[in-house]
Structures are given as structure tokens and as C-alpha cells.
Chain A
């Protein structure tokens, strides 16, 4: 049966901070305002730009170019490394503003939120979503400062709200309803749709869908059975016409850390030091959430090659490994850093690294709550509990006196390696 375009009131709001990290730097430092600014993972030539101000974007600097390229495109650009505590504070203030209007606020990342207005007092009193949107813009301006602007998008579902937020950057406010839906799609390219990347675009084009309007008009069964060959086709069919397949919250399945190694190396001692710090960071988050893990994954990408996933573990690409990963269940509880590290180190040794490593990631999976503790009368549990108590005591010391005050011996002299970073996407442990 054909699903009509949703005529529901547009009560979903998507709000994102323009060029988040760069604009917060411009807010904090008025000498940077009106100038091209880039925030890069490292301010060395190979460091990647994580955020560019609008002035830098206008000259072609965008996410993912390296510092050398950014300086070539934009010789006057000011490059700086990230200051995560500042961005976390901005995120918190951003959220506090939204909570004044409704408690149905969902952070999607450090710089974007989805707000459902159905139960917002002002909205229920008859104030339009657009009016509330303008009020929120003003409140954010007052809370975060005059240099900070946000895009507001309003729609009947999350997808159209996000699409609306991107129509007039920076500092836009747009609404998409069933009345203007076709007119909006008519002006866009497939890649303008949130969630459509070049791979999806190629797939759609292979099935004769070359524009958003064609995508909208495609039959549900055609999308589900032929184009996407899964329920994903049904979800696209729904979201394109304003129905909601995306209001689902997924539970945490993994905890991990990744590090781009600035001095790429194959030296096992150096790699083990980075590995230990990644394990310590993952372990701290695991314990903070009162979880233990049943499995671990180690992933590496080698220098000189593009990052590629190896499905089989050890991948060969034109005779040269591009990346390596292996994951396994360990048959015991991973909780203490040294347990995580022992398994990660074994995986590292099995990789027999000879190529310089440029990226390394440790992820623990198969997560379980520690409580309620069911004690085993005869053995293994006692060991787990002892390890848990020691880890908790060490964490308590670090909580009180600062991160890495007590560290494993092979992490000595590692200050500044594996820096504080904000992940793209999930921010579960941030606030």
C-alpha cells in the first residue's frame, strides 16, 4: 500500500552549531573573528583539519584536508589544536538552553541536537515551531556569545528536520512540511540528503534514481526488494515522506579508543606504549559505566596506504598490508586495564607488524553490567573481585589527583600521547 506524504505538524527540530570547534575558538578569541581558522588534530603539516570557520570554508578548507593543504588553499589561516573542555562546556550550555523549552532533547553529537516539541509548553500553547526556533537562536546567542550561530531545521520527522537545517547555512532557519516537500527536493542533489553518501548515490543511480524527487516517487517494494535489498529500503521510503523510522535509541555495544600516531612507527615498544594508553582509556570508561567486557578487538592502519578494512584479519593489498584487525571473545571478564592490555598485546604480537602504524584502535565488546554480582563459590569470581577492587582504587586515586597520576610503568613519559579528543558522533561518555 502506498504511504502518503505525512501531513503531520512539523514539530521536530534539528539544531546544529555552525562549524562548531572553529566558531567556539572565534567566540573565545575575538582576534580570530572574521578570519579563516582551522582546528586540526595536530598543527603539524600532516594533521587533519577537524573544523574550519566559514571564512576558511569559503576558500575551500574543509573537514579532512591536512594542515599543509589548508595552508596552501588559505595562506593566512590560523591553525590550532583542539581544546575539548571548551567544546564540552559549549555543548552543555547549548543543551541547557534547549531544556528550557522541553525535556525531550536528544544530543546527536557534540554540536547537534534533536528536539521534539510535541510536549513543549510554548508549542502546546499555540506558539509556532518557527517562533520557538527564533527564540532558541537568541537564547543560544545570549548563552554562548555573539560569534556563535546555529542552524535550525523543522520538519515532521528527524530526517526532514536535519535536511531543513542544512538549507541555508550558516545561521538559517527553515521548515519542511508536506506543502513544500516536493519544491525542496526539486532543488537538491542526492548527496544533499542526510545519510546519502557517494556509495549510496552510486547504488541509487544504478537503479535509475538520479534525483531526490525520483527517490521520493520510487515504490516502497522497489526500494526494499531491489535497491537496498533490506528493511533499509522501507526506512528510506518512510523518512523521505516525513514518517519516522529513526526514533530509536540503540544501547551501547562497544567501548573503544582510536589514536592517530604522529610519529608512525613499527617499533614494538612504542606500539605497546600506545596500546597501553588506549587500553587504559577504554578501561576507565568501562569501569566508569560499571561494565565488563567479554571480547576485544585490535585494529591498525599502516602508513603509506589508504585506510582499508580487512575482513579476514590479515589483508593483502597489492602485496602490501593496508590494515589489520582481529577481534575475539576472551572467555573471561575484561575490567582491569592490565587484563585488557594483556589480551590486546597478544593480538598485537599476532599481527607481526613490520610496517609503520599510523592508526591504532582498541575496542572492547560483549558488554555486561557488573550488578547484580552473582558470586561463584569456588573460584574465578574471587579473582575478578580482587582485580576489580584494585582497579576501582586506582581509578579513585586518578579521580582525586588527576588523570594518569597512577599509570602502568610502560606509560611513563607518555604525557601528551593519545590526547583528549571528542569523537564524531556518539558522545555518551562526554556529559
Chain B
């Protein structure tokens, strides 16, 4: 299992009731804003009783990838993974090997 970067981030997201769809729209991290594109993969996990939603997606310029986590108990967002097109290595916490 990959360990999350666990970086707190600010996220604007909306819910479209006609499509029953949740879309993270914009995120702010390390002094930068990123306009987010389509959610490419969404899945859930549980940590004990707490439900976590994970959104994998890119930015609208096609140069960055993010995996975001929404803690359904606290409604806090964190950045779990990050990657840019010019440095093709997914950034996530690695266990000691």
C-alpha cells in the first residue's frame, strides 16, 4: 500500500445534482492554485469507522496529477499523491525498504 503524502490542502468542490456527481474544482497547495479536470478514478476506503473518499485526477492543463482524500468525518482534504509531466515520478510516502 502506498502511504499518503498527507499534506493539508484547500479545495473548492461542487455537487451537481442532475448528474449526481461530485467534482473537486480547484485546489490550493504550497502557494499555488490548480484548476482541476475530470475525476479519472474515485474510490473509498475505511480507517476504522471513518470513510475516506479518494479522487485521482489531473489539472486542466494536463501537466499535473493529484490524488486527493476527503475525510468524511472531519471534511478535511489532504493531498495523497502528486506528479508532474516534466518529472514522471509519482510522489507518495515510501516505506523503508
* Contact (A28, B2) CB under 8 Å given A402-B47, A416-B95: no
CB of A81 within 8 A of chain B? yes
Please name all residues of chain A whose beta carbon is closer than 8 Å to the beta carbon of B84 when the two chains form the complex.
Answer: 31
Asked if residues A78 and B89 are in contact (CB atoms below 8 Å), the reply is yes
CB of B85 within 8 A of chain A? yes
Asked if residues A29 and B58 are in contact (CB atoms below 8 Å), the reply is yes
| Chain B residue at minimal CB-CB distance from A25 | B90
Mask, A93-127, CB within 8 Å of B = 1, is 00000000000000000000000000000000000
Mask, A67-103, CB within 8 Å of B = 1, is 0000000001010111111101100000000000000
Asked if residues A24 and B48 are in contact (CB atoms below 8 Å), the reply is no
Which of A83, A405, A417, A420 lies in contact with B48, CB distance below 8 A? A405
30 A-B pairs with CB atoms under 8 Å apart are: A24-B41, A27-B40, A27-B41, A28-B41, A29-B65, A30-B40, A31-B64, A32-B65, A32-B88, A35-B88, A43-B94, A43-B97, A44-B97, A81-B1, A81-B2, A82-B2, A84-B1, A85-B45, A85-B54, A86-B43, A86-B54, A89-B41, A145-B40, A145-B41, A262-B96, A402-B50, A416-B3, A416-B95, A419-B1, A420-B1
Return B45 CB to nearest CB of chain A, in Å: 5
Asked if residues A30 and B58 are in contact (CB atoms below 8 Å), the reply is yes
Please name all residues of chain B whose beta carbon is closer than 8 Å to the beta carbon of A28 when the two chains form the complex.
Answer: 40-41, 56, 67
Return B71 CB to nearest CB of chain A, in Å: 12
| Chain A residue at minimal CB-CB distance from B43 | A89
Docked Cα-Cα span, A86 to B97, in Å, equals 23
Please name all residues of chain A whose beta carbon is closer than 8 Å to the beta carbon of B70 when the two chains form the complex.
Answer: none
Question: Contact residues of A with B, CB < 8 Å?
Answer: 24, 27-32, 35, 42-44, 47, 76, 78, 80-86, 88-89, 145, 262-263, 398-402, 405, 416-417, 419-420
Please name all residues of chain A whose beta carbon is closer than 8 Å to the beta carbon of B50 when the two chains form the complex.
Answer: 402
Return A69 CB to nearest CB of chain B, in Å: 17
| Chain A residue at minimal CB-CB distance from B83 | A31
* Contact (A31, B1) CB under 8 Å given A399-B48, A416-B95: no
| Chain A residue at minimal CB-CB distance from B38 | A30
What's the tally of chain B residues with a CB closer than 8 Å to chain A?
30
Besides A83-B1, A84-B1, 17 new A-B residue pairs in contact (Cβ under 8 A), listed by A number: A28-B67, A29-B90, A35-B88, A44-B97, A47-B97, A81-B94, A82-B1, A82-B2, A83-B2, A85-B1, A85-B45, A85-B54, A89-B41, A89-B44, A263-B97, A400-B49, A416-B96
Please name all residues of chain A whose beta carbon is closer than 8 Å to the beta carbon of B97 when the two chains form the complex.
Answer: 42-44, 47, 262-263
| Chain A residue at minimal CB-CB distance from B94 | A43
Docked Cα-Cα span, A44 to B97, in Å, equals 7
Please name all residues of chain B whose beta carbon is closer than 8 Å to the beta carbon of A89 when the two chains form the complex.
Answer: 41, 43-44
Docked Cα-Cα span, A401 to B46, in Å, equals 9
Asked if residues A85 and B43 are in contact (CB atoms below 8 Å), the reply is yes
| Chain B residue at minimal CB-CB distance from A35 | B88
Please name all residues of chain B whose beta carbon is closer than 8 Å to the beta carbon of A416 when the two chains form the complex.
Answer: 3, 95-96
Return A414 CB to nearest CB of chain B, in Å: 11
Docked Cα-Cα span, A42 to B44, in Å, equals 23
A29, A86, A88, A417: most-surrounded residue (chain B CB, <10 A): A29
Asked if residues B49 and A419 are in contact (CB atoms below 8 Å), the reply is no
Return A79 CB to nearest CB of chain B, in Å: 9
| Chain A residue at minimal CB-CB distance from B52 | A85
Asked if residues A400 and B48 are in contact (CB atoms below 8 Å), the reply is yes
Please name all residues of chain B whose beta carbon is closer than 8 Å to the beta carbon of A417 when the two chains form the complex.
Answer: 95
